[in-house]
């Protein structure tokens, strides 16, 4: 059995890929084989980040065909984070763009790389998405690829089952997923009254919040439908649990701009009368 045949057994592509879509077949096969060397912890973190700050774009071309890509948009200050994604995954393109008053960076992975490498790799490691929007997008993308659906008008409506607390508690990669999600939609800050806070924003998933609470053993009890301060903790006990989780639990380390925010937060906690007796990492 040749290496190329073996890798297709280990990482089977989704559906039929046009021969013209893969320009350098030898290099692409080597890239696919080497993708197995990407640390699973990194991929788990990447999935969490996409759940927070990425999306699968499913659009229509001028001729009615389906256009699929994975897109991540971040503030320009986090462009190095996207570069690390690209350099580790060895795929995708980066671009910077401006609006009237802000600068952004964008990371795009095209359909071929999704179909040939990334999705097969996620499946190989049994990784998937946890938020409802991303779950629905991911399921639809896989259906289109595996069914070789070509035209936008032929995309069926797909419903995803709602998950209860037990479904989220069974997610084996929840720890590194939370690292990635925090990098996308979490924050570490000090309030005006000098309370230290860790907050997960844009988290309108009550059962997922409960699973995170159980994972970190937080004292919060999120109320269904109340998303004014989702995942916000500030007690001394809970702040120590946050520090333990991100610095002493062997999880994939935070990187990018959020790592800088975390380091500044730790420095300010060391100087706080209320929190200075906590156990801190050497950062």
Q: Band of the pLDDT at 203, cuts 50, 70, 90? A: low
CATH 3.40.920.10 fits 3-154, yes or no: no
Specify the fold of 177-270.
Answer: Endonuclease I-creI (3.10.28)
pLDDT computed for residue 12 by the predictor: 95
Token pair recorded at residue 188? 């570490």
**CA-CA-CA-CA dihedral for 130, 131, 136, 142, to nearest 10:** -40
> Hey, where are the domains in the chain?
3-154, 177-270
pLDDT tens readout for residues 114-168: 999 999 999 999 999 999 999 999 999 999 999 999 999 999 888 898 899 999 9
Widest CA span in the chain: 66
Contact by Cβ (8 Å): 111, 148: no
Whole-Å CA distances, 103 to 37, 78, 83: 34, 10, 16
Same fold, 3-154 and 177-270: yes
pTM above 0.75, yes or no: yes
Q: Band of the pLDDT at 3, cuts 50, 70, 90? A: low
């Amino acid at each position: 059995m040749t290496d190329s045949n073996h890798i297709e057994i280990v990482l089977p592509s989704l559906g039929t890929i046009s021969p013209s879509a893969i320009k350098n077949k030898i290099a692409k096969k080597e890239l696919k084989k080497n993708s197995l060397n990407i640390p699973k912890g990194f991929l788990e973190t990447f999935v969490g980040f996409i759940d927070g700050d990425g999306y699968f774009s499913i659009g229509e071309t001028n001729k009615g065909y389906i256009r699929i890509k994975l897109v991540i948009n971040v503030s320009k200050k986090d462009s190095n984070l996207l570069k690390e994604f690209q350099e580790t995954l060895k795929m995708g393109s980066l671009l910077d763009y401006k609006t009237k008053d802000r600068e952004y960076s964008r990371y795009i992975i095209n359909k071929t790389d999704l179909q040939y490498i990334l999705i097969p790799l996620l499946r190989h490691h049994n990784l998937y998405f946890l938020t409802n929007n991303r779950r629905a997008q991911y399921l639809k993308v896989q259906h289109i690829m595996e069914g070789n659906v070509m035209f936008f008008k032929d995309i069926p409506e797909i419903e995803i089952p709602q998950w209860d607390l037990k479904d989220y508690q069974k997610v084996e990669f929840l720890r590194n997923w939370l690292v990635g999600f925090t990098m996308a939609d979490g924050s570490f800050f000090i309030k005006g009254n000098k309370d230290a806070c860790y907050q997960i924003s844009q988290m309108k998933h009550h059962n997922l919040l409960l699973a995170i609470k159980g994972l970190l053993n937080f004292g919060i009890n999120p109320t269904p439908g109340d998303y004014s301060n989702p995942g916000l903790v500030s007690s001394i006990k809970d702040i120590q649990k946050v520090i333990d989780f991100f610095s002493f639990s062997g999880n994939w380390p935070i990187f990018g701009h959020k790592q800088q925010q975390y380091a500044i937060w730790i420095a300010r906690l060391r100087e706080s009368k209320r929190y200075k007796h906590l156990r801190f990492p050497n950062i």
